[in-house]
Amino acid sequence: MPPLDDVLLATLPVLLAAFALFDRHLVRACSLFVLFALTVALTWWQLDFAWLALLEVLLGAVLTGAFLFHALGIGLVRLTPTVRLIHLRDPMPWIWRRAIVYLVPVLALLGMLTAALASLPASESSLAARWSGLVLLGLGLWAFALHAHLLRRLLAFNITGTGIFLLLMSLVANTSPAAGQGLVITGLVVAWLGTALGALLTRRLAALEQQATPANGGQAS
């Protein structure tokens, strides 16, 4: 049985990811994502990947979090979020039938991955990280399919990537750790760049929408 600290470090990221992905309040969801990134950094540290832990804090928590809050209109100068974004919900309502339809292929994928990974050896800490990564991968894919809002999909994109990184390192930690760390570092940089571009696009689209609203109102009057 894995030690308690391994179980906690495998469970906390999953819980925080679930709350971040499905919290209807965007500011709170982004705050939960920052906490999620910090717990993932602790997981890397527990697995003796200090460089990955430091990069997760810098790229995952600090820089990615900064761009997510920038997309909401929150920064060092302006601490109050944009009113139109703070309570923003997805254009499509939450429909349980739709959620189940998207859940079925995700569960099928997770089932196939579980069957493939079950016979592979792993240490207790790597095993906990492996199953945590598997659940994060499923949560991220499901949320990405469910949500229509770009910022929510950015959250799902990052959480899916984290799940893939944890799975990768749990598989190569004892055989090719240097190669695995190189791939994860590259993935972290690419994920941060993608998030930065997506956040800037979200902010720009919100600004254009706010500019168009008074103009449309003036034409209507």
Q: What is the pLDDT of residues 109-140, one digit of tens each?
A: 999 988 888 877 766 667 888 889 999 999 99
Contact 105, 138 (CB under 8 A): no
Question: pLDDT digits over 50-95, tens only?
Answer: 999 999 999 999 999 999 999 988 876 555 555 445 445 544 455 6
CA 182/CA 103 separation, integer angstroms: 32
The position carrying tokens 């309570």 is 87
Confidence band, pLDDT 50/70/90 cuts, at residue 167: very high
The position carrying tokens 């709170």 is 28
pTM confidence score:
0.85
Sign of CA dihedral 171, 172, 175, 177: negative
C-alpha atoms less than 13 angstroms from C-alpha of 104 in its C-beta half-sphere: 5
CA 39/CA 34 separation, integer angstroms: 9
The position carrying tokens 């990947």 is 49
Contact 163, 157 (CB under 8 A): no
CA 129/CA 113 separation, integer angstroms: 15
Between 164 and 209, whose confidence is greater? 164
Question: Which residues have C-beta within 8 Å of that of residue 92, sequence separation ≥ 6?
Answer: 98, 148
Q: Tell me the C-alpha to C-alpha distance, in Å, between residue 211 and each of 20, 61, 143, 181, 206.
A: 30, 31, 30, 45, 9
In the chain, domain spans? 4-216
CA 190/CA 184 separation, integer angstroms: 10
Give Cα 134 to chain centroid, integer Å: 13
Question: Which residues have C-beta within 8 Å of that of residue 14, sequence separation ≥ 6?
Answer: 132, 135, 136, 139
The position carrying tokens 């906690």 is 8
pLDDT at residue number 199: 92
Contact 65, 37 (CB under 8 A): yes
Contact 49, 180 (CB under 8 A): no
